[in-house]
Chain A
Amino acid sequence: MTLHVKDLEVSLGDTSIVKHASLSCAAGQFAMLIGPNGAGKSTLLKALSGLLPSSGQVILKDATLEKTQRQQLIAYMPQDIGPTSSLTVLEVVLLGRLRSLGLSVPGAMADAAQAALAQFGIGALQGRTLDAVSGGQRQLVYLAQALFRQPDVLLLDEPTAALDLRHQLVVLEAVRQHCETHGTIAIAAMHDLTLAAQFADQMICLSQGRIEAKGLPESVLTADRLQRVYGVEAAITYGARGRPNITPLRAS
């Protein structure tokens, strides 16, 4: 299974937000989408998932996906934590398999939802209502929902934004493991470049709606590109597995 995106364009009114975006991801690959604020990362993810109208092609398993097919096969997790609700945490996770839910919920499905929560260490919260958990915990709940859904492609918009250091690692590790185990393709929009580089099989850099570069993190994250795309002078060192560590020095 490979995801091919060909010449994707998204316009809001007269403004072109994403321009001629083309990319490919193989089964099990965890790709990181980076770029400054307003580069079009969220718009690209929403368009891929069928939430925004777009032109171009999204091809999965050699078939071009229409909007409704994208909504079925591609799961998208927005960056905001959504409205307050008195749904319980477990009910929120169950909604991940909306299409399979009937008037009664089989015990096995409830157990699987419970297991999805447990992988993020929040199994004990299952009976709490959503408005009684913190913003970070809510983000973990939505991640558990996205993984519970078992989609072919998982799109995550800043999945670690509200999380502490430990949970940032827990979440990205869980997504990577899920991809390896189930062959799921994951694309996450990220702002923390060092963290993104640590987990990325592929890095896609977006600038002003265009894909500026894609490839391994060490080839995408160069001082010159960071200067050009982010307007930041940065020091780059290389850690384990040759992955780049970015230290921003000053904004130019």
Chain B
Amino acid sequence: MSLIASESLSYGALVRRRSVILLTAAAVLATVVIIDILVGPAFLGFLDVLSALVLPESQVDATVHVIVHEIRLPMTLMALLVGASLGTAGALMQTILGNPLASPYTLGFSAAAGFGAALAILTGFELPLIPSFSVPVAAALGGCMAACIVYGMARLRGMTSEVMILAGIATLFMFQSLQSLVQYMSAPEVLQEIVFWLFGSLVKATYLSVSITGGILLFTAALILPDVWKLTALRLGDERAQSLGVPVERLRLKIFALIVLLTAGAVAFVGTIGFIGLVAPHIARMLVGEDQRVLLPMSAVTGAFVMAGASVMSKLISPGAIVPIGIVTAVIGVPFLFLLIIRGRRRFW
């Protein structure tokens, strides 16, 4: 039986089933999050971590407190938020462009963010009052630049999905080339720093960066909420959606801007994470279908799950060290996706 629907199922039963799937996924995610906090290169015991989490600071060993509260917790929260942001951005992108291969990565946003970050590292660019935000801001600006190029092209030729995808792919190649050029021009020690950023890593997560990424996610969710049914209608094609009263071009532009914001908020602090925006929505779609009221939160949960799972893996691969998470995300997500493809008996796009 398909997870999404079955012929005999009433609408009420279908809605209940999807809610159960969503809640189950959230429970699985919570478990992975707890494991992520427990695991780390410091080899802390389960009870040590637990007491650091629940007891006041004065009753906990200072080192343990610092490791749990200043390192692990921000990293785990960042993994959750970045995964949720990229999963949501990918689902939105695939919906507004009607294309299963669309994601912030395949449309060049992440490559452009990488170029912005690489350029900032190469030139030693520093913001006056907040120097620690120099690279994230440069990355976010890079992502926005890519979005402006894609949007500009689309404005010239109409906001159709075909034009946006073509412009996005061209932008991806352009910024990848520029990234390579910056790397080619860099001294070895600078190159090392650029490559580390491009791999994607959670180690620089702080409560401030967590708050910014979380704030952006909440802000965009609030703006998307009134349009969930219109987004669902887009899956019937532009003409049908328009005939149902959806202002297709305006909606596409609004959601496009929100995707840029979500992606910039996610990749600016952790680097290029390419896989989640593409695959999390597919996994979510296979589990709960295309009603955006459920698909969007499910994509967020799935993205967060893959990211948190990758975070656990990144700490287990090489004991005593943390492998950059961008390297691990695909290793976690692809087998899960393959399993769903093999076990599924129906089309999912």
Evaluate contact between B290 and A87: CB separation under 8 angstroms. yes
Q: Give every chain B residue within 8 A of A127 (Cβ-Cβ).
A: 5-11, 14
Distance in Å: Cβ of B102 to nearest Cβ of chain A: 14
* B338 contacts A by Cβ under 8 Å: no
Q: How would residues 227 to 246 of chain B score, 1 for a CB under 8 Å from any chain A CB and 0 otherwise?
A: 01110110111011011111
Closest 4 CB pairs of A and B: A127-B9, A76-B243, A110-B11, A82-B237
Q: Give every chain B residue within 8 A of A82 (Cβ-Cβ).
A: 236-237, 239-240
| CA gap between A23 and B227 in the complex, in Å | 37
- Name the one of A75, A77, A88 contacting B5, with C-beta atoms under 8 angstroms: A88
Q: Which residues of A98-154 have CB atoms within 8 Å of chain B's CB atoms? A: 98-99, 101, 103, 105, 107, 110, 113-114, 124-129, 131-132, 142, 149
Evaluate contact between B232 and A125: CB separation under 8 angstroms. no
Q: Give every chain B residue within 8 A of A110 (Cβ-Cβ).
A: 11-12
Evaluate contact between A83 and B98: CB separation under 8 angstroms. yes
| CA gap between A149 and B289 in the complex, in Å | 23
- Name the one of B230, B235, B243, B289 contacting A49, with C-beta atoms under 8 angstroms: B243
Q: Give every chain B residue within 8 A of A76 (Cβ-Cβ).
A: 243
A88-B14 contact, Cβ under 8 Å, with A103-B293, A127-B9? yes
Residue pairs across A and B with Cβ atoms less than 8 A apart, 19 shown, are A71-B243, A78-B243, A86-B4, A86-B285, A86-B290, A86-B346, A86-B347, A86-B349, A88-B289, A90-B14, A91-B290, A95-B244, A98-B229, A98-B244, A110-B12, A126-B7, A128-B6, A129-B5, A149-B244
A51-B243 contact, Cβ under 8 Å, with A86-B347, A128-B7? yes
- Name the one of B7, B229, B347 contacting A124, with C-beta atoms under 8 angstroms: B7
Q: Is the interface of A mostly helix, strand, loop or mixed?
A: mixed
Distance in Å: Cβ of A27 to nearest Cβ of chain B: 22
Q: How would residues 203 to 245 of chain B score, 1 for a CB under 8 Å from any chain A CB and 0 otherwise?
A: 0000000000000000000000100111011011101101111
Evaluate contact between A84 and B232: CB separation under 8 angstroms. no
Distance in Å: Cβ of A165 to nearest Cβ of chain B: 25
Evaluate contact between B289 and A86: CB separation under 8 angstroms. yes
- Taking A86-B289, A105-B15, A128-B7 as known contacts, 8 extra A-B pairs with beta carbons closer than 8 A to each other, sorted by chain A number, are A51-B239, A82-B237, A83-B235, A86-B5, A91-B290, A91-B291, A110-B12, A114-B11
| CA gap between A24 and B79 in the complex, in Å | 62
* B336 contacts A by Cβ under 8 Å: no
* A177 contacts B by Cβ under 8 Å: no
* B24 contacts A by Cβ under 8 Å: no
* A96 contacts B by Cβ under 8 Å: yes
| CA gap between A115 and B349 in the complex, in Å | 28
| CA gap between A95 and B47 in the complex, in Å | 52
| CA gap between A131 and B232 in the complex, in Å | 15
| CA gap between A77 and B233 in the complex, in Å | 14
- Which residues on A are within 8 Å of B, measured CB to CB? 49, 51, 71-72, 75-78, 80, 82-88, 90-92, 95-96, 98-99, 101, 103, 105, 107, 110, 113-114, 124-129, 131-132, 142, 149
Evaluate contact between B236 and A125: CB separation under 8 angstroms. no
Q: Give every chain B residue within 8 A of A90 (Cβ-Cβ).
A: 11, 14
Evaluate contact between B11 and A95: CB separation under 8 angstroms. no
Q: Which residues of B268-296 have CB atoms within 8 Å of chain A's CB atoms? A: 285, 289-291, 293
Distance in Å: Cβ of B37 to nearest Cβ of chain A: 32
Q: Give every chain B residue within 8 A of A107 (Cβ-Cβ).
A: 12
| CA gap between A86 and B14 in the complex, in Å | 13
* B46 contacts A by Cβ under 8 Å: no
| CA gap between A85 and B241 in the complex, in Å | 13
| CA gap between A207 and B243 in the complex, in Å | 25
Evaluate contact between B5 and A84: CB separation under 8 angstroms. no
Evaluate contact between B237 and A83: CB separation under 8 angstroms. yes
Q: Give every chain B residue within 8 A of A99 (Cβ-Cβ).
A: 245
Closest to B243 in A: A76
Evaluate contact between A78 and B240: CB separation under 8 angstroms. yes
| CA gap between A68 and B246 in the complex, in Å | 10
Evaluate contact between B346 and A78: CB separation under 8 angstroms. no
Q: Give every chain B residue within 8 A of A101 (Cβ-Cβ).
A: 229
| CA gap between A86 and B2 in the complex, in Å | 11
Q: Which residues of B93-115 have CB atoms within 8 Å of chain A's CB atoms? A: 98
